[in-house]
Amino acid sequence: MRRKLKVERSKKSSVEMTDLEKKEKIIRQNSLNKWLPPFLWVFAALMVGVLIFVIVQFFTPNQSDLIAPVESASIEANTDLPANLPVYEIDGSNDSLLRFANPRTIIPTRARKDVIIYTIQAGDSVFGISQQFNVTPETILWANKDTLNDDPHMISVGLELRIPPVNGVYYEWKEGDTIESVANYLKVEQDAILDWTPNKIDRTNPVIEPDSFVMVPGGQREFQQWVVPTFARGPAGVNNSIPGACSTGEGGAYGTGTFIWPTGNTFISGNDFWSGHLAIDIGAVIGQTVYASDSGVVVYAGGISGGYGNMIMIDHGNGYATLYAHLSGISVACGQSVYQGGAIGAAGNTGNSTGPHLHFEVRYFGGFINPHFVLP
């Protein structure tokens, strides 16, 4: 009986041990499942890194491969050298630093040194050209005395102008000129002429041939103003020798002392007001109505020389006078009273003009004032 009980206990213990082993096995498997995936990821990353390293090493040329063409080219180039020059032989055993060309280079911005030739296009003005090339309008007039004769209205389509590189005077040397006399005439120091490298003047023997041009940076000179005279109303001061001048009597409309824009536009399309252009060029199209900027009496109506084309001048009776030029049509007559805002003509492109616009002047007791000062 006891033996049978022992056998049963032994079998039961054996069964219990088997269950325990199964549990331990399950625990070991769970533990393995926890750390095995991270290990596999790390191993995979290492393998990828090794693969990339091998690829880079395989496709990167070694130093000897890079130096070889240079040596060959150098040796071939040396065969063309004169016989009296030493031959330089490259020792392939020496280490060297190879510098690859960088295609992304930055071209430095340098100031222009030369005078360029510009051909006038439709719609150009001296003022607009000066802004385009970053020089003053006076600089362009001074450089083209032979063609413009100091008159910005003399430009025409197809005309070629010299455009200096800097502000100043592009001066044509004359017989008898000296560095000192030209410097005094253009109000600069002599070094301004001598130090301008493109002039190519030898300081030890500064000889400049007549009819050649030199650039005088910062130079300036007086220039002649080409303007039509101011005609006054009434018998006094009237000049009937000029075609179109009006013979007016006393009376007539008087100005209000205020001014309006003479066109429906209020933007500048060409020359603005500056020392060489005592007016403003207002944008307009051919045939666009031109209005009296203030009330007054017409003292000139018709064509006139000096590049103005068809022109109207109004005396406002209070010291002011206004002028309207390059008109395509005139709708008022000499001596006629006009009133502020009334139609007097049509904008055009007559006279010296590269495009339709209205040349508008304001004068006060014969002197010129900037129209921007009186326009709203």
Q: What is the pLDDT, as a whole number, of residue 276?
A: 79
Q: What is the pLDDT of residue 180?
A: 92
Whether 260 and 239 have beta carbons less than 8 Å apart is answered as no
In 3D space, the residue among 205, 217, 130, 137 whose CA is nearest the CA of residue 171 turns out to be 217
CA distance 172 to 164: 13
Question: Kind of pairing, strands 296-304 and 309-315?
Answer: antiparallel
Residues in CB range of 93: below 8 A, 6 or more apart: none
Q: What's the pLDDT at 260? A: 96
Closest CA to 186 of 142, 227, 225, 154: 142
In this structure, are residues 153 and 351 in contact, taking their beta carbons and an 8 Å threshold? yes
Which of 262, 256, 255, 167 lies closest to 217, judged by CA? 167
What is the torsion angle, in degrees rounded to the nearest 10, for the CA atoms of residue 227, residue 333, residue 310 and residue 265? 90
Between CA 233 and CA 240 the distance in angstroms is: 12
Return the pLDDT at 240. 46
Phi-psi region of 323 (alpha: psi -120 to 50; beta: other; left: phi over 0): beta
Residue pair 232/297 in contact (Cβ under 8 Å)? The answer is no
Q: Which pLDDT score is estimated for 133?
A: 92
The pLDDT assigned to 307 comes to 82
For residue 68 the two structure tokens come to 């070889």
Nearest-CA neighbor of 319 among 257, 255, 365? 365
356 with 285: CB under 8 angstroms? Answer: yes
Q: Indicate the pTM of the whole model.
A: 0.59
* Other Cβ atoms closer than 10 A to 147: 14
Q: Mean pLDDT by 10-residue block, N- to C-terminus, for the chain (376 residues)?
A: 52 56 67 67 80 76 51 48 63 63 65 89 88 92 89 86 94 92 93 91 89 93 75 58 65 92 90 86 94 95 87 93 95 93 95 89 92 94
Distances in whole angstroms, Cα of residue 278 to Cα of each of 147, 226, 266, 313, 324: 20, 10, 18, 15, 13
Residue 238, pLDDT score: 43
Query: What pLDDT score does 42 carry?
Result: 76
